[in-house]
Amino acid sequence: MSDAQAGQIDTVMHEERLFPPPPEFAAAAHIGSLDAYQRLWDEAAADTEAFWEKLAREELHWFQPFDQVLDWNPPFAKWFVGGKTNVSYNCLDVHLDTPRQNKAAILWEGEPGDQRTLTYQELHREVCKFANVLKGLGVGQGDVVSIYMGMTPELAIACLACARIGAVHSVIFGGFSSEAIADRNNDASAKLQITADAGWRRGAELPLKETVDAALAKSPTVEKCVVLRRTGAEVNMVEGRDFWWDDLMDEASADCPAAELDSEAPLFILYTSGSTGKPKGIKHTTAGYNLYTKMTSRWVFDLKDEDIYWCTADVGWITGHSYILYGPLSNGATVVMYEGAPNWPDEGRFWEIVEKYRVTIFYTAPTAIRAFIKWGDEFVRRSDLSSLRLLGTVGEGINPEAWMWYHKTIGGERCPIVDTWWQTETGGIMMTPLPGAIPTKPGSCTKPLPGIVPAVVDETGQPVDEGHGGMLIITRPWPGMLRGIWGDDERYVQQYWSTVPGNYLCGDNARCDRDGYYWIMGRIDDVLNVSGHRLSTIEIESALVSHEHVAEAAAVGKPHELKGEAIAVFVTLRDVEPSDALRDELKQHVRKEIGALAQPDDVRFTGALPKTRSGKIMRRLLRDIASGKEEVGDTTTLEDYSVLASLREDEE
């Protein structure tokens, strides 16, 4: 645990404004009043298994019904035991004999301005064909398929095709380096790679295949690679290993019944950062995840058939998995998917897309909102945003100023804002103001969803008093919960379930106010949140010390206007003197080892790192120095006072 000890956290936010759901919104909402929410929450809390059982039987298609709701052998959960279902079936086939068959499932907008619409029928056909392609390449149930591509419809098709045959997808965000891809491929023993020649980003081509080539040189388990033609970039195709997507699809049959999969069949692995240098492969399975994302999409986004729903996340993150693909498609929603950057060809692109497709629900990250504010309102005012009825945020807390801007400038003061708190591990949204029911307080994710029972506790596991900070835990299992860390049960038990035995430790600090509203107060571990991306300081440090001239390194976060947090690193050198060239080289080195998203903003050289007597790096001190604060805290345990002095000098 970092030096921000639970239970000793100062509350700095005093937000008293309350925004009730607009009456017209509430009148038409799936959950339309605080009473309705409370009834549902109480019902779920009184008999959690009965609550989920009823929904599972009603909302999912079963090839074979389950005979046990939950097998809870803490911390290992099995939901809907004995049942057989298929996530791709629940996202596609269920809509085929309904009026939704020719409804748009995906409205896709490419960065250069090209567009494609895939109806439910068309998406179903493409998914069936690609599922047959996968089978033809020798991919079967339980095999891991690694996916590294841009935001094209084929990314959705690839995921759903894996789900259809019981293969396990591992999507790797396009900002990661070849080293990071190889690490993940090896950890998961991936059998097949899917990528594209390149992707569009701010008018430039991102060389995806080239990066994959370097990764595959170090991924011995990967046998074959499917390459989508997206930009037409020249790429190197390895005979016998690499195949073009369209060549394979031309030959593929469109007949591929969904495999009848066990409720607990693994659906995907998604790597995320924890408090060690090695990313964790978070494992999600079939039925529970499907039900949880379906229900939370409907409750939180108040999804209706006539909505045009746009989540701006990348499918490389959990938000894209749960709230671009599986949740909305299970509900038969129309989803907007955009390939590129928000500021291409200029800073008004998002708002043009909202106007063009008449988007009704818009879900984005606070870091993006801060960028919109900085870019200026004129880009927003150019477009007609009157179609919007609901806004959401995800990935980090939102500061009240950004919340107010979102509310006024984007939402025209008529759209509720759902600040959704959750994690890769939770599979779906855990706490948020249901838009027709719960009055919002800017900066608070408000209350838990039905079936979710959180608590705020101290290090002994005892609940802290109202209004006091402590560790956030979830006190009972839920269907969307992670089922483990891929290949590492011990780490799963140790990391999430042993601090407060039998309870899920989120890794966030929080407080609960007198109205029962939760306020997330940041991580308890050394995890940074840079532009809504989760990064471990230790991962960055490991990358740095792998450089020949680095002896020791410490990475900390410092406040950043747009990114929320920026990365500052302190480095001690071996054999060489500090230089600007080396500073740049180290930034590039981290970029190469992990990816552009982890590139440090600041690199500071120091003679030694400040440590406590027990040898722990004094991160709080480094954070204070990195952020330029005058106050550097109690330094009496500093091993070497001269270090602090020289670091401070450096600041002058």
Interface residues with ligand PRX (CB under 6 A) are 272, 318-319, 394-397, 419-424, 445, 506-508, 520, 523, 529, 534
Nearer to ligand PRX, 397 or 448 (CB): 397
Q: What is the identity of the amino acid at 77? A: A
Q: How far is the CB of 243 from ligand PRX (least distance, A)?
A: 32
Name the CA radius of gyration of the chain, rounded.
24
Please count the other Cβ atoms lying within 10 Å of the Cβ belonging to residue 44: 21
Helix (H, G, I), strand (E, B) or coil at 355: helix
Nearer to ligand PRX, 144 or 365 (CB): 365
Euclidean distance between CA atoms 109 and 151, whole angstroms: 9
Nearer to ligand PRX, 213 or 525 (CB): 525
Euclidean distance between CA atoms 150 and 486, whole angstroms: 24
Helix (H, G, I), strand (E, B) or coil at 584: helix
Q: How far is the CB of 398 from ligand PRX (least distance, A)?
A: 7
Contact (CB, 8 A) for 210 and 235: yes
Phi, psi of 395 (to 5 degrees): 110, -30
Nearer to ligand PRX, 262 or 314 (CB): 314
Euclidean distance between CA atoms 431 and 438, whole angstroms: 11
Q: Quick one: how far is CA 187 from the chain centroid?
A: 20
Q: How far is the CB of 85 from ligand PRX (least distance, A)?
A: 25
Nearer to ligand PRX, 391 or 506 (CB): 506
Nearer to ligand PRX, 78 or 523 (CB): 523
Sheet (strand 390-394) strand order: 115-119, 104-109, 334-338, 308-311, 361-364, 390-394, 417-420
Nearer to ligand PRX, 332 or 366 (CB): 366
CA-wise closest residue to 43 among 55, 60, 59: 55
Euclidean distance between CA atoms 600 and 563, whole angstroms: 12
Q: How far is the CB of 507 from ligand PRX (least distance, A)?
A: 6
Q: How far is the CB of 472 from ligand PRX (least distance, A)?
A: 9
Give the 3-state DSSP-derived string for 493-556, with helices as H, strands as E and coil as C: HHHHHCCCCCCEEEEEEEEECCCCCEEEEEECCCEEEECCEEEEHHHHHHHHHCCCCEEEEEEE
Which positions ≥6 away from 138 have C-beta within 8 Å?
Answer: 191, 223, 224
Beta bridge partners of 448: 431
Tell how strand 192-196 and strand 224-228 pair up: parallel
CA-wise closest residue to 605 among 625, 624, 635, 631: 625
Q: Is the dihedral of CA 498, 501, 502, 506 positive or negative?
A: negative
Q: How far is the CB of 430 from ligand PRX (least distance, A)?
A: 9
Q: How far is the CB of 429 from ligand PRX (least distance, A)?
A: 8
Nearer to ligand PRX, 44 or 318 (CB): 318
Q: How far is the CB of 444 from ligand PRX (least distance, A)?
A: 9
Q: How far is the CB of 607 from ligand PRX (least distance, A)?
A: 34
End-to-end CA separation in angstroms for the chain: 31
Nearer to ligand PRX, 292 or 605 (CB): 292
Q: How far is the CB of 129 from ligand PRX (least distance, A)?
A: 31
CB-nearest residue to ligand PRX: 424
Nearer to ligand PRX, 297 or 319 (CB): 319
> DSSP assignment of 165-207, as one string?
HT-EEEE--TTB-HHHHHHHHHHHT--EEEEES-EEETTEEE-
CA-wise closest residue to 555 among 523, 527, 585: 527
Contact (CB, 8 A) for 598 and 539: yes
Nearer to ligand PRX, 111 or 425 (CB): 425
* Residue 115: its H or E element: strand 115-119
Q: How far is the CB of 422 from ligand PRX (least distance, A)?
A: 5
Contact (CB, 8 A) for 595 and 539: no
Nearer to ligand PRX, 146 or 424 (CB): 424
Q: How far is the CB of 433 from ligand PRX (least distance, A)?
A: 11
Q: How far is the CB of 371 from ligand PRX (least distance, A)?
A: 17
Nearer to ligand PRX, 231 or 319 (CB): 319
